[in-house]
């Protein structure tokens, strides 16, 4: 049922006299708590004149499809009434491991798309995600990830990347962007100048990368440069230090990266948005985030994402605005520089289309069918020297699963799925054994005992190359000489640690569609078509 409370967007005037407070406020994108409009977010819009919000499930913003639609419609009505400008309403609906909306079409993720190598699939994912966002009153997606994942120990990108080939990331990224825009959604390419070769999570520390300028240009910049050439309207910065460009400052705070490299060298004239400014990479480097916001604007950023501390987020918004305003009044930042950002933001908002609010299409059957089709096409049989696929068994099947693959304790806002459930639906005589994410001696003992009495074993791994206990456990099971299938649920680098495994599969995620697709392949209901989008270099057999 189409809801009747549609947003009517009047023409945005370019000739208005705009206060400095309003210009600065429009440069802020904030988060807030609650499933309804609260006095705090009302004050942010009315008094602080903020230009955008970012929604999270952990903040209580995303409880149900109908609630999300109502909240966003009311937020837009308030922004239009108070400021005469629409609100940028955003979230991270990347697909796969990073999704926010309950009941939406999640899709198997970017690396799964990389495994298909199919541009039409990437466009479909962007288009369907875009349609579902628009149906809920959301007009901006903080996606796609354009990072080229070349570091096997990357703790924060991984499956969020399309792969390690810059040309593939570029092609699928542009198709995804086209899909979002065809649904009326503003895409945000991230994380410039490339977060794919980091070994530190910028949520917890400041990554530093040491590759050459040539490597930066050939590998990491290509997807961004190609997307810019095709009109990408917004780019998010990376909280990383790229030594070949600026050894002193992270990219988000670096004029050399944002103004010189992105604006001048690559010719980007759209909106530059920072990554969240409350992340440790910034707060540890530059202390109070309100001061870091000034440095980001001086570097060339237009939108400051989440500038506030979480223990006093409303008060910190005011402090951030005061800090920026003082910097302007004292000549540290010119008002012309603020005007440039304001004008870019207003120009971006002119592309916001009137949403057709209709929560019923979110996660609809048609979208779910496409989701499963793509997930099936992504499944990659890395090797099957034992000819185990499809499975042909008549006795007990053992499934060994690290609990981290489905434990909601990692993040209660995310949905996790136990792979054994989907396999048991196809073959009832299946025992599921849960072990820890980094199994120890007791896990190993139980697994070997159960495997000894089983006809065949499926062992799931998740970042086994960083959780060595998984590799040790899998090797012990392989030593039994039983038929074993190793299934990598994350970036399949861990398979390189298991040269003894004769049958290996990569599924690139742990969403319901990944699991259903795997079960269909294992039991012969479909055939795997995917190819590895990253290099798995099997070590010499022991």
Active-site residue, selected from the candidate residues 201, 203, 260, 384: 203
Q: How far apart are CA 31 and CA 413, in angstroms?
A: 16
Residue 512 has pLDDT above 90, yes or no: yes
Distance CA 133, CA 105 (A): 10
CA-CA distances (angstroms) from residue 356 to 100, 246, 274, 409?
Answer: 20, 45, 29, 36
54 within 8 A of 142, measured Cβ to Cβ: yes
9-30, pLDDT tens digit by residue? 444 445 568 999 999 999 999 9
Q: Is 367 a residue of the active site?
A: no
Q: Could you tell me if 159 and 110 are in contact, meaning their C-beta atoms sit under 8 angstroms apart?
A: yes
Instruction: Please name the residue that has the structure tokens 């994350």.
Output: 490
Query: Residues 354-372: pLDDT tens digits?
Result: 888 999 999 999 999 999 9
> Which CATH code for domain 91-305+316-341?
3.20.20.300
203 noted as active-site residue: yes
pLDDT greater than 50 at residue 413: no
User: What pLDDT does residue 16 have?
Assistant: 66
Yes or no: say if 304 and 296 are a contact pair by the CB < 8 Å rule: yes
**Class (C level, CATH) for 379-522:** alpha beta
Q: Which residues contact 54 (CB under 8 A, 6 or more apart)?
A: 29, 30, 31, 90, 91, 142, 305, 306
The single-letter DSSP state of residue 434 is E
Residue 531 has pLDDT above 60, yes or no: yes
Contact 406, 514 (CB under 8 A): no
Q: Catalytic one among 165, 197, 226, 275? A: 275
Contact 331, 473 (CB under 8 A): no
Q: What is the pLDDT of residue 310?
A: 52
Using one digit for the tens of pLDDT, what is the confidence trace for 89-144? 999 999 999 999 999 999 999 999 999 999 999 999 999 999 999 999 999 999 99
H or E element: which one contains 485? strand 484-488
Give Cα 286 to chain centroid, integer Å: 25
Predicted TM-score of the model (pTM): 0.93
CA distance 51 to 23: 9
- Domain coordinates in residue numbering, the chain: 91-305+316-341, 379-522
- β 503-506/380-384 pair status: antiparallel
Contact 158, 109 (CB under 8 A): no
State the pLDDT at residue 204.
Answer: 80
pLDDT at 309: 59
Name the percent of the chain lying above pLDDT 90: 82
> pLDDT value at position 487?
97
Q: How far apart (Å, rounded) are the C-alpha atoms in residues 199 and 180? A: 30
Residue 218 neighbours by CB under 8 Å, 6+ apart: 166
3-state secondary structure of 397: strand
- Tens of pLDDT, residue by residue over 428-487, are 999 999 999 999 999 999 999 999 999 999 999 998 888 899 999 999 999 999 999 999
For the chain, percent of residues with pLDDT exceeding 70: 92
Whether 379-522 and 91-305+316-341 are alike in CATH topology: the answer is: no
Tokens 């969240």 correspond to 276
**Torsion over CA of 116, 173, 410 and 305, rounded to 10 degrees?**
-170
Q: How far is CA 359 from CA 63, 186, 356, in A?
A: 13, 19, 9
- Higher pLDDT, residue 265 or 289: 265
Secondary structure (3-state) at 54: strand
């Amino acid at each position: 049922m189409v809801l009747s409370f549609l947003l009517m967007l009047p023409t945005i005037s370019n000739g208005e006299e705009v206060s400095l407070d309003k210009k600065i406020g429009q440069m802020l994108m904030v988060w807030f708590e609650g499933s309804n409009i609260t006095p705090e977010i009302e004050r942010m819009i009315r008094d602080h004149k903020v230009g955008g919000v970012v929604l999270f499930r952990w903040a209580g913003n995303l409880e149900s499809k109908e609630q999300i639609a109502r909240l966003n419609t009311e937020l837009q009505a308030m922004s239009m009434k108070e400021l005469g400008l629409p609100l940028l309403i955003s979230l991270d609906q990347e697909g796969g491991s990073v999704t926010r909306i309950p009941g939406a079409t999640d899709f198997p993720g970017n690396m799964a798309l990389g495994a298909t190598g199919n541009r039409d699939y990437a466009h479909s994912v962007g288009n369907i995600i875009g349609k579902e966002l628009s149906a809920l009153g959301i007009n901006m997606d903080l996606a796609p990830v354009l990072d080229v994942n070349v570091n096997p120990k990357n703790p924060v990108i991984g499956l969020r990347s399309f792969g390690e080939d810059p040309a593939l990331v570029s092609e699928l990224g542009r198709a995804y962007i086209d899909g979002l825009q065809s649904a009326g959604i503003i895409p945000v390419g991230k994380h410039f100048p490339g977060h794919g070769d980091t070994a530190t999570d910028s949520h917890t520390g400041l990554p530093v990368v040491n590759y050459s300028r040539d490597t930066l240009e050939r590998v990491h910049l290509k997807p961004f440069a190609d997307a810019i050439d095709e009109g990408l309207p917004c780019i998010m910065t990376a909280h990383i230090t790229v030594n070949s460009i600026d050894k002193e400052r992270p990219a988000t705070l670096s004029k050399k990266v944002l103004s010189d490299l992105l604006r001048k060298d690559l010719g980007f004239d759209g909106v530059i948005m920072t990554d969240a400014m409350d992340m440790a990479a910034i707060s540890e480097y530059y202390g109070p985030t309100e001061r870091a916001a000034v440095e980001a604007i001086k570097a060339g950023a237009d939108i400051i994402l989440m500038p506030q501390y979480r223990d006093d987020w409303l008060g910190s918004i005011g402090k951030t605005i005061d800090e920026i305003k003082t910097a302007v009044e004292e000549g540290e930042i010119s008002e012309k520089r603020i005007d440039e950002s304001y004008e870019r933001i207003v120009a971006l908002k002119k592309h916001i289309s009137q949403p057709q609010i209709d929560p019923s299409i979110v996660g609809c059957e048609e979208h779910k069918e496409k989701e499963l089709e793509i997930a099936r096409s992504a499944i990659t049989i890395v090797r099957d020297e034992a000819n185990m696929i499809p499975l042909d068994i008549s006795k007990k099947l053992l499934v060994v699963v690290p609990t981290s693959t489905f434990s909601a304790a990692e993040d209660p806002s995310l949905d996790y799925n136990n792979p054994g459930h989907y396999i048991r639906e196809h073959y009832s005589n299946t025992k599921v054994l849960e072990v820890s994410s980094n199994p120890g001696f007791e896990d190993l003992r139980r697994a070997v005992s159960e495997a000894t009495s089983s006809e065949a074993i499926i062992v799931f791994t998740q970042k086994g190359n960083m959780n060595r206990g998984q590799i040790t456990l899998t090797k012990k099971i392989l030593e039994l000489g039983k038929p074993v299938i190793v299934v990598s649920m994350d970036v399949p680098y861990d398979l390189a640690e298991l040269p003894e495994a004769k049958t290996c599969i990569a599924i690139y995620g742990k969403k319901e569609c990944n699991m259903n697709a795997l079960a269909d392949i294992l039991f012969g209901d479909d055939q795997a078509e995917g190819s590895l989008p990253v290099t798995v270099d099997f070590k010499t057999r022991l």
